[in-house]
Chains A and B, each alone.
Chain A
Amino acid sequence: DIQMTQSPPSLAASVGDRVTITCRASQDIRSSLAWYQQKPGKAPKLLVFHTSRLDSGVPSRFSGSGSGTDYTLTVTSLQPEDFATYYCQQYSSTPLTFGQGTKVQVK
């Protein structure tokens, strides 16, 4: 199974901050990486797929990058609605696996 490791596990930020979350795969996942946002009591919401493609309706302050085993999600100018937990997910091979999450909290 491909292991996905996110960092940091949590971070504290303010509205307007730039936030970067990293995700490392245990082997090359050939850009088959998605990012989800989850708020308490809600289902995950797709933000990014194929490493860098924003899902429909996702604000342009979100961006993804990376290749091989290392990937990042960046939020420029964090907004109040962005405080949530973010998960990466690889879909290079089954079983599909998720990172442990990064909780973005209010500083």
Chain B
Amino acid sequence: QVQLVQSGAEVKKPGASVKVSCHTSGYMFTAYAIHWVRQAPGQRPEWMGWINGANGNTKYSESFQGRVTFTRDSSATTAYMELNSLTSADTSVFYCARGSGTGWYLDYWGQGSLVIVSS
């Protein structure tokens, strides 16, 4: 079965960076994109962008452009999201999700990684 398992919760200081991992299994990693979605407490999900599992090409939301980097290790079927220059406004749950092969909807999600930014 398709599974996406994310790294654990992190507490960071303002100005720091965080790197979240998303280990996938149960499907051909290179056949699908991995999307990243941020959800602040009590807010709607916010799309951050995606990385192509096959070639590593990326598409970032303008809201995060310049501050976020997606990478992947296809041999380890794992995707990574690194967010820099953290502020308290970044305190959120970050999700990875598989992009469907037939459209940019998200058919399988990781369990989420809580990132708390606090001095």
Contacts and interface: CB of A to CB of B under 8 A. Distances in A.
B27 interface: no
Nearest to B104: A91
Nearest to A45: B109
Given A96-B47, A98-B46, A32 B59 contact: no
B95 interface: yes
Contacts, number: 58
**B interface, by DSSP: helix, strand, loop or mixed?**
loop
A46 B106 CA distance: 7
Given A43-B95, A43-B111, A95-B63, A87 B44 contact: yes
A89 interface: yes
Interface residues of A, number: 22
A99 B103 CA distance: 18
A60 interface: no
Interface in A54-81: 55
Nearest to B95: A43
Nearest to B103: A91
Contact of B103 (A49, A87, A100, A101): A49
Contacts of A36: 106
Interface of B: 35, 44-47, 59, 61-63, 95, 97, 100, 102-112
The 9 A-B pairs at the shortest CB distance, nearest first, are namely A91-B104, A43-B109, A34-B105, A96-B47, A95-B61, A49-B105, A98-B44, A98-B45, A100-B44
Interface of A: 32, 34, 36, 42-46, 49-50, 55, 87, 89, 91, 94-101
